[in-house]
Structure 1
Amino acid sequence: MRRALQFDRLDDCVAECRSLLRTGYLQNGNWTLAQICRHLRLTIEANLRGYPAWMTVLGFPLRPVLRRWMLPRLLAGDSPSGVKTAGMFVPDSALNDADEVDALSRCVEQFLAHSGDLHAHPGFGRMTHEEFGRFHAAHAAHHLSFLAVAEPRSA
């Protein structure tokens, strides 16, 4: 069962990841905390460094539809589940939660400190730094909503 989760800022997702590390979590989807953190980091890094050309070419024809219909759903916390992602964004299964939370934290810091241009999203196009921040925060909330806080053990 997914939990309702929304982040006002991108760095709120890092705080949530650190909290899940402390409390433990129950996995209600396909990915562990480490896998989610790796996926989020890879997508933020692509925004900073660039997406492969093939993604931009394939995404371009669908961009108006995705930007008009899917982006508002994602930003409102109503992102559909089960949408396949490009293989380059699918994380390995043998990852360490703490290491990946730390790597995501460093990546988010880099994103927040970035003052240059950001690369257009293949499906949603160009956005301002603030818009991309909201996009990445909503994306993080979507994935982290599949992890439930572990119930405390009774003594």
Structure 2
Amino acid sequence: MTPAGPAPSPHKGTTHSDASPGALEPPRRLTFRNLSEVMPEVDRLCRGHRTLRRWTLGQIGRHLANGFHGSIDGFDLSRHRIKRTLFRRLLIAYTLRWGIPERYTVDPGIEPQEPVETETGVRELREALDRYRRHTGPLKPHPLFGEMPRPLWDRIHCIHCAHHLRFVVPDEGTGAPAADQSSSS
């Protein structure tokens, strides 16, 4: 169920480059129940879309791919030490309930710094998601949430994907949504 209005955010961080101050159209509501719903939605967006913020679908694909790779290879953990130590459980609970606040950056190192062709970003996302699914070893700590079991990592990745893909609106006639768009992550 969608909460009425935005919740106050316990997150304080770097502003995303995908937030355009003049953008008036709110993002769409998008939820992924599991990771198998992500690529069908991305494929649908590839048939026609428009973006509501500065990042292109290609840049979003690369950013999400970097997130999947980071959960296997590791992230820069130098930021958020105090939050990770003192507020980890609160921040996880907030994110699971309300999603990721707009314009919040956990690791600037995984943000796209240059233009990315849609096909390239989508291919990188598909390959990263496949790699993540095949990975059977331990996962690295999240920069903000620390050590997490695989099912929680899966949920956080679903929330992260929905957070960014909600800023990409499919053109009319591109098929039924692959994911439930009735509630927000």
Partner in structure 1 of residue 17 of structure 2: none
Q: Is the 8 A contact 1:77 1:142 kept in 2?
A: no
Partner in structure 2 of residue 51 of structure 1: 75
CA distance, structure 2, for counterparts of residue 65 and residue 5 of structure 1: 30
TM-score (norm 1): 0.86
The residue type equivalent to 1:75 in the other structure is: L
Partner in structure 2 of residue 99 of structure 1: 120
CA distance, structure 2, for counterparts of residue 98 and residue 11 of structure 1: 19
Equivalent position to 2:34, from 9, 14, 26: 9
Which residues of structure 1 form unaligned runs of 5+? Answer: none
Equivalent position to 2:148, from 127, 130, 134: 127
Identity among equivalent positions (%) equals: 28
The residue type equivalent to 1:107 in the other structure is: A
- More divergent stretch after superposition (42-51 vs 61-70): 61-70
The residue type equivalent to 1:113 in the other structure is: R
The aligned runs of 1:66-85 (5 Å cut-off) are 66-85=87-106
Equivalent position to 1:142, from 152, 160, 163: 163
- How far 1:70 sits from its partner (Å)? 2.9
- How far 1:85 sits from its partner (Å)? 4.5
- More divergent stretch after superposition (86-95 vs 33-42): 86-95
CA distance, structure 2, for counterparts of residue 68 and residue 26 of structure 1: 36
Instruction: Give the direction of change, closer, same or farther, for the CA distance of 1:118–1:149 in structure 2 (3 Å limit).
Output: same
The residue type equivalent to 2:70 in the other structure is: A
Q: Is the 8 A contact 1:77 1:138 kept in 2?
A: no
The residue type equivalent to 1:69 in the other structure is: L
RMSD of Structure 2 on Structure 1 (CA): 1.7
For CA contacts below 8 A with separation 6 or more, give which structure has more relative contact order: 1
Partner SS, residue 33 of structure 2:
coil
The residue type equivalent to 2:40 in the other structure is: A
Partner SS, residue 46 of structure 1:
helix
Partner in structure 2 of residue 31 of structure 1: 55
Partner SS, residue 80 of structure 2:
helix
Equivalent position to 2:108, from 87, 94, 97: 87
- How far 1:62 sits from its partner (Å)? 0.9
Equivalent position to 1:113, from 128, 131, 134: 134
Equivalent position to 2:81, from 60, 67, 92: 60
Equivalent position to 2:44, from 11, 19, 22: 19
CA distance, structure 2, for counterparts of residue 65 and residue 27 of structure 1: 36
- How far 1:121 sits from its partner (Å)? 0.7
Q: Is the 8 A contact 1:7 1:137 kept in 2?
A: yes
Query: More helix per residue: 1 or 2?
Result: 1
